[in-house]
Amino acid sequence: MTEGPGQSTADGRASTPEGRRRSRAKRGHGGRLRDELIEAAGTLLDDAGEDGVTIRAVAQAVGVSTPSVYLHFDNRLELLHTVCLRVWDELGRRMLSISAQTTDPFAELHQRSVAYIRFGLDHPLRYRLVATGPATAATEQVADACFRFLRETVQRCADAGVLHGDVTALTRAICACLHGAVSLLILQPTSKWPDDIPQYADDAATLACQGAAALSRAHHGRCET
């Protein structure tokens, strides 16, 4: 029986020219195909936006059958999140780099806040898909990691007597400000963004950190009365 376009061969490869050129992965090399699928999905995301990333389109780009994609990803959302989460490692590296550059906990908090905002604005589509889209186990892990990065800095501020009160509550308030600063822009066309993004990020981070300081002083004052 002759195979039609897009059908699969007996070994699971797509019956496209690309599929016929692609050799079956050797045993233990499934990770290579997974990486290729992620790279292809990332290219589609950059070129065509979220709607351009479909299981079929990714399979065709790599030259495999659609079922082959499902061997590595349960659904389209998991694939999208995997693509997006790769860049979030960059934020972790930025945070760690800041820790090595200063011994002032409040300055570190401000710089980490700036880094968070700049990261979100540098990767608006990937930020939106992870931070504002449907949650998955992977995105929850990223959210927890970001929260821990900021909370540990708030804790150092509290230990130094710079901030007072519930460390978790203060961190949550700061996170709300930072997420709001990013979301305010990424939900708009870039033509409406401020001309000076570094200054915008610095101003928003200053408001978040100084606001947390004012809030902690207010709470501390009430506790002393």
Provide the mean pLDDT of the chain. 86
**Residue 192 forms part of a structural domain:** yes
**Residue 80 forms part of a structural domain:** no
> Are 68 and 94 part of one and the same domain?
no
CATH assignment at residue 68: 1.10.10
Q: Report the percentage of the chain scoring pLDDT > 70.
A: 84
Residue 68's domain comprises 17-73
> Are 106 and 194 part of one and the same domain?
yes
**Residue 12 forms part of a structural domain:** no
**Residue 167 forms part of a structural domain:** yes
> Are 57 and 95 part of one and the same domain?
no
**Alpha-carbon span 14 to 144, nearest angstrom:** 39
Residue pLDDT, tens place only, 175-209: 999 999 999 999 999 999 999 999 999 999 999 99
Last residue of a domain, one of 49, 73, 97: 73
